[in-house]
């Protein structure tokens, strides 16, 4: 039996045969988390809405994994355009207001998104021991 446990999040399932996240021991890594509405699976056309939804979906992923955003230790963000930094930082500061308790973050430019996608992220977390 594998020590690895995969999990899904309602409405956020990927089209490819990959899980939303995977857990081994206390460590959780997500697949790509998009700024998509889980109920409709639609991606809004503007960066502000996509960033808001991406951070909301980050919270959904952490809850499905059995943790909270307080368990995130690193966030990697891919953005289609460098000008999106302000929209990302706005949601970042809402989710992580304490400057002494924020995850590490790395942002990279990526031009290979399909459809209306402008931004996505992946997270690494250490879940509470149960």
pTM for this prediction:
0.95
Domain span including residue 42? 5-126
Helix, strand and coil percent figures for the chain, each rounded to 5? 30, 25, 45
CATH code, domain carrying 87: 3.30.1330.40
pLDDT digits (tens, 9 = 90+) for 38-79: 999 999 999 999 999 999 999 999 999 999 999 999 999 999
As a whole number of angstroms, the distance between CA 116 and CA 129 comes to 38
* Count of structural domains within the chain: 1
As a whole number of angstroms, the distance between CA 48 and CA 2 comes to 40
Beta-strand pair 104-109/72-79: parallel
pLDDT digits (tens, 9 = 90+) for 87-109: 999 999 999 999 999 999 999 99
Tokens read off for 127: 């879940």
Position 93 scores a pLDDT of: 98
């Amino acid at each position: 039996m594998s020590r690895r446990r995969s999990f899904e999040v309602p409405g956020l399932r990927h089209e490819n045969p990959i899980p939303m996240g995977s857990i081994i021991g206390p460590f959780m890594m997500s697949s790509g988390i998009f700024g998509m509405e889980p109920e409709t699976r639609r991606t809004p056309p503007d960066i502000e809405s996509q960033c808001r939804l991406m951070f909301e979906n980050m919270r959904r992923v952490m809850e499905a994994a059995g943790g909270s955003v307080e368990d995130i230790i690193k966030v990697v963000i891919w953005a289609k355009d460098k000008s999106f930094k302000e929209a990302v930082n706005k949601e970042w500061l809402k989710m992580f207001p304490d400057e002494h308790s924020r995850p590490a973050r790395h942002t990279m430019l990526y031009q290979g998104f399909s459809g209306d996608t402008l931004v996505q992220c992946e997270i690494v977390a250490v879940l509470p021991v149960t």
